[in-house]
């Protein structure tokens, strides 16, 4: 006889109608549950995240099925991926049965769950089921026994974990009962293709046939109702992520990282700016908060959370969800708290790692916009005085704007207002212009350019702060004023290539300024120097130095510039020992999000934390590529009292010492 299984064995075809009836009911409850939630998403404002639908579908499919984002954290990621794939197999197995029983057999008299195919099918599903249980037991152990710090567990988790385990176990129990009554008696060879079922049948070997048959019926119904119950419960429990997360993958942003909405400040009718209430959020923000699976990976990666600040990215998302489900007028800033909001460095590690596709940073910035633009609030008196200094002198230090080009005195650099021809415009930025330590970096970069025959032009007094720190702190108005002035000056010169040693300036001029009328190519100095080396226009001597490298958030995560600085430093003779958190997983120096202008009043210093990581490499030098990073790393070195053992330098300084 050909290997096969009698579908509806023992329970009979009479179950079909009630089964589909209950299934329809479960589906209806499930749909109803989601409909209620969709209404809440609708409380948020519009946002186009469906353009380019085919690309979105491809990305969503890849991310979901390959579990790419889940696997970014190897543990417990691999177990979730395993559980997902095993359950997917089990689900596929059920679909095959439906296909045969409801379509191919009645319509075409064709069945395929037989013979070798059936044997492979049964073996696969048995192993999948076993694997699923094994993965699930790891989840149990982690969540209920090991209890990692910061992981929240509620009734939802008990219910879902319990239900899944029960469904899997009853599944095998049913199989065992069926096999004990059929295959074990008639076709043991076939039974070997269902090894787990065979083992289960072994436990039931002593049962009477009558008991086996009746218990099989009970189990069959239990298993069905549990499974349908699970489906009905999806929208009401964490299982909603089964739909929400793949959907969130579809709704991911296709824009360059760090893109922000440029507010229309000439709109006379605009009443409110930033996000202060639930209705100020977009539907995507609310959707994100519901898609969050509370895995706490964002919290684990957050430099603020790691150093005792009152910010947890996960808690921000949770509170937004609570607010959303409380009503459109709920005050979200009060719920999230201003202390938490100001603590963010916008490093992006949270959303880089989030497996559910939640976008944390944009929400924080929108809430900061509300605090700054609608209430005139600041993170501290120093934040306010930096903003005032920017208004008056266009730099946050309060130094006279007329002295902005003093760093270039005596250097071979043209002030564009006097001499408009140059190969590149070097956009120095506030730190390189005024900060004693960072002026050296600017000067060294000019040396490199001079050596390569590149004619460098600077805006000098015409250059103003790019506006990035205050923009990230929420002051969109001041940002647009500064930006407009910079753009007017830059567009006045025919030089179309801008180079800067500051990743914040680079990201702002290269991406954000496009909305306001700048269309130049903006390059970071590490990439520029790398190009010079590759083209042969610049040659360096390779003088060995041992170092570790700190990837700036705005260079690695936001701009994808990871290899170029390393290539440059290697060409200069560098022997690199990577820090544990590097490249796109880099740990923030603490200066982003405008925080370089502010004082760290709570917890430990983020820069000291990063210096610990640098020290762990045993290297005497940490090289970075950003004036904020350089400033913060040196501060961290001082705070940690390791000035004898560790030095912080910029890439430009190292290359300038090795010009050939």
Partner 1 sequence: MKILVCVKQVPDMASKFKPNAANVWFDETDLAFRMNEYDEYAVEEAIRLKEQLDSGSADLVVLSIGPSRVVEAVKKALAMGCDRGVHIRDDESYLKDPWQIASLVAAYAKGEHFDIVFTGMQSLDRGSAQVGPTLAEALGYSCVTTVIGFSLEGGVITAKRELEGGAKGVIRLKLPAVITCQLGLNTPRYPTLPNIMKARKKEIAVFEVAELGVENPRTVTERFFAPVKKGCGLVLEGEAAALAGKVVEILKQSTIVLRGQP
Partner 2 sequence: MKALLVFEYRRGKLTEANLELLSFASGLGAQRSGVLVGEEALLPAFEGRLYLGDIAKCKEYDPELHAEIVLQATQQENPDYIVFIHSSYGWDLAPRVAAKLKIAQVSEITGLSDGKFEVGCCNGKMRRLVRPGTPKAVLTLQEGAFPFAGKSEGTPEVETLVPAGTGSGLEFAGYEEAEKRGIDLANAEVIVSAGRGVGKKENIPAIAELARRLKGELGASRPVVDAGWVEHYRQVGATGQVVSPKLYVACGISGAMQHLIGMRNSEFIVAVNKDKDAPISEVADVMVIADVMPFVAALTEKLRK
Question: What is the binding site for partner 1 (CB under 8 A)?
Answer: 265, 268, 270-273, 373-378, 384, 387-388, 391-394, 398-403, 461, 476-477
Q: Identify whether the C-beta of residue 379 lies closer than 8 Å to the C-beta of residue 598.
A: yes
Residue 375 binding partner per list partner 1, partner 2, none, with a CB distance cut-off of 5 to 8 Å that depends on partner kind: partner 1
Residue 99 binding partner per list partner 1, partner 2, none, with a CB distance cut-off of 5 to 8 Å that depends on partner kind: none
H helix runs in 148-295, sequence order? 155-181, 183-186, 188-191, 195-203, 209-233, 241-250, 283-291
Instruction: Please give the residue ranges that form the binding site for partner 2 (CB under 8 A).
Output: 381-382, 436, 599
Q: Which residues contact 381 (CB under 8 A, 6 or more apart)?
A: none
Give φ, ψ of 281 to 5 degrees: -75, 165
Q: Identify whether the C-beta of residue 396 lies closer than 8 Å to the C-beta of residue 473.
A: no
Token readout for 423 is 């190969």
In whole angstroms, the minimum distance from the beta carbon of 600 to partner 2 comes to 9
In whole angstroms, the minimum distance from the beta carbon of 381 to partner 2 comes to 6
Strand partners of residue 545 = 574
Q: Identify whether the C-beta of residue 368 lies closer than 8 Å to the C-beta of residue 473.
A: yes
Q: How many angstroms separate the CA atoms of 482 and 467, rounded?
A: 6
Residue 175 binding partner per list partner 2, partner 1, none, with a CB distance cut-off of 5 to 8 Å that depends on partner kind: none
Question: Given the complex with partner 2, which of 391 and 403 has the nearer CB atom?
Answer: 403
Residue 436 binding partner per list partner 2, partner 1, none, with a CB distance cut-off of 5 to 8 Å that depends on partner kind: partner 2
Question: Given the complex with partner 2, which of 488 and 601 has the nearer CB atom?
Answer: 601
Q: Which residues contact 580 (CB under 8 A, 6 or more apart)?
A: 613, 616
Residue 354 binding partner per list partner 2, partner 1, none, with a CB distance cut-off of 5 to 8 Å that depends on partner kind: none
Question: Given the complex with partner 1, which of 55 and 265 has the nearer CB atom?
Answer: 265
Q: Identify whether the C-beta of residue 559 lies closer than 8 Å to the C-beta of residue 552.
A: no
Q: How many angstroms separate the CA atoms of 179 and 219, rounded?
A: 14
In whole angstroms, the minimum distance from the beta carbon of 405 to partner 2 comes to 18
Question: Given the complex with partner 2, which of 209 and 382 has the nearer CB atom?
Answer: 382
Question: Given the complex with partner 2, which of 285 and 635 has the nearer CB atom?
Answer: 635
In whole angstroms, the minimum distance from the beta carbon of 631 to partner 2 comes to 13
Question: Given the complex with partner 2, which of 382 and 421 has the nearer CB atom?
Answer: 382
Residue 378 binding partner per list partner 1, partner 2, none, with a CB distance cut-off of 5 to 8 Å that depends on partner kind: partner 1
In whole angstroms, the minimum distance from the beta carbon of 638 to partner 2 comes to 9
DSSP state of 442: H
Question: Given the complex with partner 2, which of 71 and 381 has the nearer CB atom?
Answer: 381
H helix runs in 234-359, sequence order? 241-250, 283-291, 297-301, 303-306, 313-324, 332-336, 338-342, 349-353
Q: How many angstroms separate the CA atoms of 332 and 230, rounded?
A: 32
In whole angstroms, the minimum distance from the beta carbon of 343 to partner 1 comes to 20
In whole angstroms, the minimum distance from the beta carbon of 401 to partner 1 comes to 5
In whole angstroms, the minimum distance from the beta carbon of 250 to partner 2 comes to 47
In whole angstroms, the minimum distance from the beta carbon of 384 to partner 2 comes to 11
Token readout for 295 is 């895995």
In whole angstroms, the minimum distance from the beta carbon of 398 to partner 2 comes to 9
Question: Given the complex with partner 2, which of 92 and 381 has the nearer CB atom?
Answer: 381
Q: Is the peptide bond before 655 cis (omega within 30 degrees of 0)?
A: no
Q: Identify whether the C-beta of residue 644 lies closer than 8 Å to the C-beta of residue 526.
A: no
Question: Given the complex with partner 2, which of 389 and 475 has the nearer CB atom?
Answer: 389
Token readout for 543 is 């003088």
Question: Given the complex with partner 1, which of 455 and 461 has the nearer CB atom?
Answer: 461
Of 395, 414, 398, 288, which Cα lies nearest the Cα of 351? 288
- CA pseudo-torsion sign 180, 181, 182, 187: positive
């Amino acid at each position: 006889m050909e290997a096969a299984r009698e579908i509806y064995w023992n329970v009979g075809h009479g179950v079909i109608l009630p089964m589909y009836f209950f299934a329809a009911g479960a589906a209806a409850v499930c749909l109803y549950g989601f409909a209620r939630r969709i209404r809440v998403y609708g409380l948020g404002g519009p946002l186009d995240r469906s353009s380019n639908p085919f690309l979105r579908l491809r990305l969503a499919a890849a991310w979901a099925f390959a579990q790419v984002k889940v696997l970014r954290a190897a543990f417990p990621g691999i177990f979730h991926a395993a559980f997902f794939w095993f359950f997917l197999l089990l689900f596929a197995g059920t679909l095959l049965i439906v296909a045969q029983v409801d379509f191919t057999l009645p319509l075409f008299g064709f069945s395929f769950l037989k013979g070798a195919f059936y044997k492979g099918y049964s073996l696969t599903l048995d192993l999948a089921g076993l694997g699923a249980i094994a993965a699930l037991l790891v989840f149990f152990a982690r969540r209920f026994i090991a209890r990692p710090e910061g992981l929240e567990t509620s009734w939802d988790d008990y219910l879902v974990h319990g239900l899944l385990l029960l469904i899997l176990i009853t599944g095998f129990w049913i199989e065992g009962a069926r096999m004990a009554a059929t295959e074990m008696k008639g076709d043991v060879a076939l039974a070997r293709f269902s090894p787990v079922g065979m083992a289960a049948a072994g436990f039931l070997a002593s049962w009477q046939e009558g008991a086996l048959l009746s218990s099989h019926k009970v189990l069959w119904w239990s298993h069905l109702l549990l499974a349908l119950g699970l489906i009905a419960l999806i929208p009401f429990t964490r299982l909603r992520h089964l739909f929400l997360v793949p959907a969130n993958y579809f709704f991911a942003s296709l824009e360059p990282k760090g893109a922000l909405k440029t507010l229309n400040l000439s709109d006379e009718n605009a009443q409110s700016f930033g996000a202060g209430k639930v209705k100020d959020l977009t539907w995507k923000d609310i959707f994100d908060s519901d898609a969050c699976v509370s895995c706490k990976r964002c919290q684990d990666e957050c430099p603020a959370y790691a150093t005792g600040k009152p910010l947890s990215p996960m808690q921000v998302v949770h509170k937004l969800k609570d607010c959303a489900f409380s009503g459109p007028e709920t005050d979200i800033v009060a719920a999230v708290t201003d202390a938490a909001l100001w603590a963010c460095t916008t490093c992006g590690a949270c959303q880089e790692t989030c497996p559910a596709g939640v976008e944390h940073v944009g929400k924080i910035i929108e809430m900061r916009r509300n605090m700054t633009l609608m209430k005139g609030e600041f993170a501290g008196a120093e934040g306010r005085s930096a903003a005032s200094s920017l208004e008056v002198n266009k730099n946050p230090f309060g130094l006279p704007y007329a002295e902005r080009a003093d760093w270039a005195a005596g250097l071979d650099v043209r002030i564009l207002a006097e001499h408009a021809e140059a190969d590149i415009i070097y956009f120095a930025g506030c730190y390189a212009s005024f900060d004693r330590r960072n002026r050296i970096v600017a000067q060294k970069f000019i040396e490199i350019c001079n050596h390569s025959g590149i004619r460098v032009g600077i805006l000098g007094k015409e250059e103003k702060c790019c506006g990035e720190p205050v923009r990230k702190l929420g002051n969109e108005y001041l940002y647009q004023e500064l930006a407009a002035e910079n753009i007017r000056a830059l567009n006045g010169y025919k030089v179309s290539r801008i180079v800067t040693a500051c990743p914040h300036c680079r990201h702002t001029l290269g991406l954000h300024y496009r909305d306001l009328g700048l269309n130049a190519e903006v390059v970071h100095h590490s990439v520029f120097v790398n190009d010079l080396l590759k083209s042969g226009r610049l040659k360096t001597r390779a003088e060995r130095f041992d170092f570790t490298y700190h990837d700036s958030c705005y260079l690695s995560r936001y701009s994808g510039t990871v290899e170029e600085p390393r290539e440059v430093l290697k060409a200069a003779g560098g022997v690199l020992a990577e820090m544990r958190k590097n490249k796109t997983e880099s740990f923030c120096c603490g200066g982003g999000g405008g925080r370089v202008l502010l004082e760290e009043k709570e917890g430990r210093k983020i820069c000291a934390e990063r210096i610990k990581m640098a020290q762990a490499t045993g290297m005497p030098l940490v090289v970075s590529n950003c004036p904020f990073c350089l400033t913060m790393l040196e501060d961290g070195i001082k705070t940690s009292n390791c000035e004898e053992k560790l030095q912080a330098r910029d890439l430009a300084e190292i290359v300038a010492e090795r010009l050939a």
